Amino acid sequence: MQFNRHGERVWGAVTSFLDAERTRRAIGSVVVPFGTCSEPTNVAAGGGACPLRFRCVGCDHFSTDVSYLPDLRAYLDDLLRTREKLRAMTEADDWARAEAAPSEEEIRRVRRLIQRVTEDTDQLTDDERDQIQQAAAIVRKTRQGFLGMPRIRQPLPDLRPERPA
Ligand code: SF4
């Protein structure tokens, strides 16, 4: 149960992979916070060189699967919490709060992706859902040992700008 960034099923009709195709896909993608990335520069850098700073729901190189649903939900909660915290913050200028706030579009896209993955899962039979849940649990357990997970947060600004001549 793989999905593109719009929440549309990909590989839905595929029932088995050739080993060569499986290997090609593994080499041509890298794990990112809520799925996989196939952007060549980022793949070559092992996932640490995203040109979009991990706005994956806005990028065609992104795909996800049902095992990432808990991470997507946690990310949405984090975005909403951050937005509310910034709204209540009175010690900062408006521009600073606006630039630090998550975009409404990203919140909308993440919410839509969660909804579509959930709807697809709901259409399965009880037996299929059980199998998917068991598979997702195994994948998630394996993934926890992955050490190269990139950070979602924006990189810190450069505090050593070049001095004017
Ligand atoms: S936004 Fe996500 S999918 Fe797109 S290049 Fe960056 S890490 Fe890859």
Is 52 domain-assigned? Answer: yes
Most confident of the ranges 5-19, 76-90, 142-156: 76-90
At 1, the pLDDT band (50, 70, 90 cuts) reads confident
* Mean pLDDT on 67-86: 94
Is 15 domain-assigned? Answer: yes
Predicted confidence (pLDDT) per residue in 119-150, tens digit: 999 999 999 989 988 998 888 888 765 544 44
The Cα–Cα gap between 120 and 146 comes to 27
pLDDT on residue 143 = 77
Q: What is the three-class DSSP state of 149?
A: coil
Choice from 41, 52, 75, 151 to test ligand 1 binding pocket (greatest atom count within 8 A of CB): 52
* Mean pLDDT on 69-84: 94
Q: Separation of 93 CA from ligand 1 center, angstroms?
A: 30
Is 151 domain-assigned? Answer: no
Q: Which positions ≥6 away from 162 have C-beta within 8 Å?
A: none
Is 158 domain-assigned? Answer: no
Q: Is 56 in the pocket of ligand 1 (CB under 6 A)?
A: yes
Cα Rg, the chain, nearest whole Å: 18
pLDDT on residue 141 = 84
> Between 150 and 66, where is the model more confident?
66
Q: Which tokens belong to 45?
A: 């850098």
For residues 61 and 40, the answer to whether their CB atoms sit within 8 Å is: no
Q: Is 62 in the pocket of ligand 1 (CB under 6 A)?
A: yes
What is the pTM (predicted TM-score) of this model? 0.77
- Residue nearest to ligand 1 atom 6, measured at CA: 50
At 32, the pLDDT band (50, 70, 90 cuts) reads confident
Mean pLDDT estimate for the chain: 83
Q: Which residue has the tokens 């793989």?
A: 2
Is 124 domain-assigned? Answer: yes
Is 88 domain-assigned? Answer: yes
Predicted confidence (pLDDT) per residue in 96-125, tens digit: 999 999 999 999 999 999 999 999 999 999
Question: Looking at the 3D structure of the chain, how many domains does it have?
Answer: 1
Is 40 domain-assigned? Answer: yes
Q: Separation of 134 CA from ligand 1 center, angstroms?
A: 28
Determine the structural domain holding residue 58 and report its residue range.
2-144
Is 125 domain-assigned? Answer: yes
